Amino acid sequence: MPEAQLLVYGAGGHGRVVADAAEQSGWIVSGFIDDRVSSGTVVGYRYRVLGNREWLGSQARTYRICLGIGDNYIRRAVALFVASLGFSIESIVSPHAVISPSARIGVGSVIFAGAVVNSMASLGTGTIINSGAIVEHDAIVGEFAHLSPRSALGGGAAVGDLTHVGMGCSILPLIPIGSRSIVGAGSVVTRRVPDDVVAFGVPARVRRSVAAKQII
């Protein structure tokens, strides 16, 4: 059971779920860090926002940090900032997820209840495997990507860095999805999706390009 005190960076709905999963897996959750919510605000049923990024910079590096931000780009920016301060960034795995011992889980990832990550699957740094999502054998999820609730990634399929896969999507085995793309909810992906696009439908088709986002 982890003994170090944990801070959750991000006090929104996603951050609250991360805090719950952390507590359930044995972490001592001290509270939230947030750059938009005032210090002292009670979030959820008991945790408080302790401060913002300036406050964090003044704290002892004995705290551990986990990422409670759903937006892929902001989550990456926060991870880079936290690492630059010398804090350890932790992965949070719900005790109600099923994880193969041969799977690789990148630093700063979060895996929620009901998720399954099967044999030899690989999750990059800062990934989100949301409630009930499935990552089948040998599948790859890139850095700071997000598999939404009930999405499924077939065996040997791949999702690129910073890509968001919507709720209830199915990606067939061996199909690659590019980086920085969005796959709309309920889609069935039967062929390659390139970088920097929005795709959706059954089967999923490319609908438009995604505007480049500036890294904070």
Torsion angle defined by CA atoms of residues 65, 66, 71 and 75, in that order, rounded to the nearest 10 degrees? 40
| Element containing residue 72 per DSSP (H, E) | helix 72-84
Cβ atoms of 65 and 6 closer than 8 Å: yes
Could you read off the pLDDT of 118-166 as tens digits, one per residue?
A: 999 999 999 999 999 999 999 999 999 999 999 999 999 999 999 999 9
How much is the pLDDT for 161? 98
How much is the pLDDT for 212? 66
Domains and CATH numbers, the chain: 5-90 (3.40.50.20), 93-209 (2.160.10.10)
Nearest-angstrom CA–CA distance, 148 and 142: 14
Nearest to 152 by CA among 177, 133, 131: 133
Structure tokens at 210: 């995604």
Could you read off the pLDDT of 60-115 as tens digits, one per residue?
A: 888 999 999 999 999 999 999 999 999 999 999 999 999 999 999 999 999 999 99
Q: Which residues contact 169 (CB under 8 A, 6 or more apart)?
A: 148, 151, 152, 183, 184, 185, 186, 187, 188, 189, 204
Residue 192 pLDDT > 60, yes or no?
yes
According to DSSP, residue 213 is labeled -
Nearest-angstrom CA–CA distance, 51 and 35: 8
Nearest to 163 by CA among 150, 138, 146: 146
pTM of the model: 0.94
Per cent of the chain over pLDDT 70 is 96
Residue 216 pLDDT > 90, yes or no?
no
